[in-house]
Amino acid sequence: MTAQPKIVQDAVALADQISRALSQSGYNADFSLESLKEVDRFFDEHVTSGKAKAGGLLSQQLGARLFALGSYVGEVIRRHKGGQWQGDDNDPQGEMNIAIRLRSGTILWPIQSVMKRFKNGAEDSIWVYGVASVSAH
pLDDT per position as a tens digit, 4-42? 899 999 999 999 999 999 999 999 999 999 999 999 999
Question: Using an 8 Å Cβ cutoff, are 84 and 100 in contact?
Answer: yes
Burial class (CB in 10 A: 0-12, 13-18, 19+), 82: exposed
Tell me the HSE value of 68 on the side-chain side, using a 13 A CA sphere: 17
Domain range summary for the chain, segments of one domain joined by + = 6-136
Strands (E), 22-105: 47-48, 51-52, 83-86, 99-102
Q: What is the pLDDT of residues 34-85, one digit of tens each?
A: 999 999 999 999 999 999 999 999 999 999 999 999 999 999 999 999 999 9
- CA 83/CA 121 separation, integer angstroms: 28
Of 103, 102, 86, nearest to 94 by C-alpha is 86
